[in-house]
Structure 1
Amino acid sequence: MLLKPLQYWKHRLTRRGPVRLAMTLLVRNEIDIIEDNIRFHAAQGVDCFAVMDNGSTDGTRELLEALKSEFDLHVIDQPAQNYQQALWMTQLADYARTKLKADLVISNDADEFWLPAEGTTLKDHLRSDDSVVTVHRRNMVLTEECLQPDYHYTDAGYAVKNPILYNSQTQISDNAVSMLLVKISPKTIVNPHGLIKMKGGNHRAKHGWRWVNAREESEITVYHYPIRNYEQFEANIINRLRLLRDTNARMGDHYRRWVNCYKEGRLKEEFSKFILSTSDLDTTNKIGITEPYAKAGALIKRSIK
């Protein structure tokens, strides 16, 4: 354990030049969004990418291979089906340290877009000696437009502002809950030099130097598009059902809820609860649960053209 803090200090004392920022992703069947994610973050200052593909069957793996000719992108195949997210993301961070020579690593998901303050890049808010940087994350909300055939997830124009604090049991079992409005955990940017391990969901990290200079960064916000249309939602839950057959699998309460909905034939009913009508939005905006926010989608569109 002592070697990790020493590793951090050796890097801090010997590094030269501008911050090299890497992004790591663990993906499976993300054909609709993975290219957008990489293009967007390259435009926001990410230098290189390490993507672990966990047995995609929808063309994601082939698309990643094609993107290697355009970006500093490394693809690692992980065929195991026992869903060791924390372990695999820790391994990816180590890969970014040793192979990509990264100073800092954003541990990301394909449906998350990291927006810096207007007129800046991600690097403008990071320091090479950071250990763990925690940033706020917000869900994007579905409206009735998502039912139109030409809808794209970047058309989402509302974000959760003040989430509803349902307790864990309510999130699993209460049929009235709209899960896009719940409180979600933050995300982290880590210094791979001194990193001990990433924790589940990439919401936290154990670091040998965290106690000295871990911090929060308010000028970076993660915008989350977890549900983009019904077909994508159903495919995701079928995959989660498969993963949860492993009784040791660690997964959020929302996925357990949705797997139960699928088993009971209620997944379309559950999807309908995500969609806020105009009158719903009038209420949620009025009481501060949601707010208009089209900037994230506009920036993504600009980056992927």
Structure 2
Amino acid sequence: MLHKTLQYWTHRLLRKGPIRLAMTLLVRNEVDIIEDNIRFHAAQGVDCFAVMDNGSTDGTREVLEKLKTEFDLDVIDQPAQNYQQALWMTQLAEYARTTLKADLVISNDADEFWLAQEGTCLKDHLTANDSVVTLKRRNMVLTEACLKADYHYSQAQYAVKNPILYSSDTQINDTAVSMLLVKISPKTIVNPHGLIKMKGGNHRAKHGWRAVNAREESGITVYHYPIRNYEQFEANIVNRQRLLRDTKARMGDHYRRWVKIYEQGLLKQEFNKFILSDADITTTNRIGVTEECQTVSAALKKVIK
């Protein structure tokens, strides 16, 4: 702990120039969204990327190779199949510190888009002296528009505003639950100088300087697109089923729910419950569970090729 605290303090005293902001991602089979993610965040002010590919077979790896010619982007292959997200994301943050020379690191997932307030970029809301910055994360919800043949996830127009606080047991076992409306954990931006480890699916971080200057930031919101279409949803759950064969694997309750439902042959019915009708949206908007949110859609349209 002392070593990490001194590491942070030394960097704070010696660093010069503008903030160098890195983004790290751990991916597997994200071909439908990974290029959008990189382009979006480069436009938001991310300087460099470190992407760990965990054995993609759908073309994700090839897309990353193409993006390397356009962006400051390093790809690290991780063939191991014993899912160790916290360890691997901690290693990526260390890589960002030592190889990419980053001052701050966004530990991201391919289905998350970090959007700064209009007229600003991400770095406008950060300082090089930050240790751990916590940000609100919001699920984007599906409407009947997602059933159209030409639908793209970026067309989603509604986000969860006040999530429903289902218990963990309810999330796993109650067939009536719509998981896109549940409360989800925030995300963090960390200073890799002084970082001890990433924790809890990139939602928390242990840092040598956290007790002194960790803070929350309202000028950046993370928009989450966990379900984009049925094919992507099913492929994700098949992969999660494989990972959960390791009894020590740590994974959110929602994935355990979906694997259980998949094994019962009911995954398509579960997907259909995510889709809110016009009447549903009118009701959830009226009672404050969801709200219209077009800012992230507009930002995505500017960068999607």
Letter in 1 for 2:105: V
Distance 2:81 2:104 in 1: 28
Aligned to 1:141: 141
SS at match of 1:66: helix
Aligned to 2:89: 89
Letter in 1 for 2:50: A
String of CA shifts for 1:256-280, please: whole Å, max 9, x gaps. 0000000000100000110000000
String of CA shifts for 1:33-64, please: whole Å, max 9, x gaps. 00000000000000000000000000000110
Aligned to 1:194: 194
Distance 1:285 1:67 in 2: 39
**TM-score with structure 1 length normalisation?**
1.00
Q: C-alpha displacement at 1:297, in angstroms?
A: 1.3
String of CA shifts for 1:86-123, please: whole Å, max 9, x gaps. 00000000000000000000000000000001000000
Distance 2:303 2:216 in 1: 26
Aligned to 1:53: 53
Aligned to 1:246: 246
Distance 1:155 1:63 in 2: 22
Distance 1:240 1:200 in 2: 16
Aligned to 1:204: 204
SS at match of 1:115: strand
Aligned to 1:24: 24
Q: Map 1:254-273 onto structure 2 (within 5 A).
A: 254-273=254-273
String of CA shifts for 1:62-90, please: whole Å, max 9, x gaps. 11011100000000000000110000000
SS at match of 2:302: helix
Aligned to 1:67: 67
Aligned to 2:126: 126
String of CA shifts for 1:220-272, please: whole Å, max 9, x gaps. 00000000000000000000000000000000000000000000001000001
String of CA shifts for 1:155-199, please: whole Å, max 9, x gaps. 100000000000000000000000000000000000000000000
SS at match of 2:262: helix
5+ unaligned residues in a row in structure 1: which ranges? none
Distance 2:109 2:99 in 1: 21
Distance 2:188 2:303 in 1: 23
Letter in 2 for 1:85: Q
Aligned to 1:296: 296
Q: C-alpha displacement at 1:301, in angstroms?
A: 1.3
Q: Map 1:171-186 onto structure 2 (within 5 A).
A: 171-186=171-186
5+ unaligned residues in a row in structure 2: which ranges? none
String of CA shifts for 1:119-147, please: whole Å, max 9, x gaps. 00000000000000000000000000101
**TM-score with structure 2 length normalisation?**
1.00
Q: C-alpha displacement at 1:304, in angstroms?
A: 2.1
Aligned to 2:8: 8
SS at match of 2:222: strand
Aligned to 1:112: 112
Aligned residues: 305
Q: C-alpha displacement at 1:152, in angstroms?
A: 0.1
SS at match of 1:220: strand
- Is 2:43 the partner of 1:38? no
Letter in 1 for 2:3: L
SS at match of 2:242: helix
Distance 1:254 1:46 in 2: 30
Superposed structure 1 runs of 4+ greater than 3 Å apart: none
Distance 1:294 1:151 in 2: 16
Letter in 2 for 1:140: M
Aligned to 1:219: 219
Distance 2:292 2:63 in 1: 33
Distance 1:200 1:79 in 2: 22
Q: C-alpha displacement at 1:200, in angstroms?
A: 2.2
SS at match of 2:201: helix
SS at match of 1:251: coil
Distance 1:192 1:179 in 2: 33
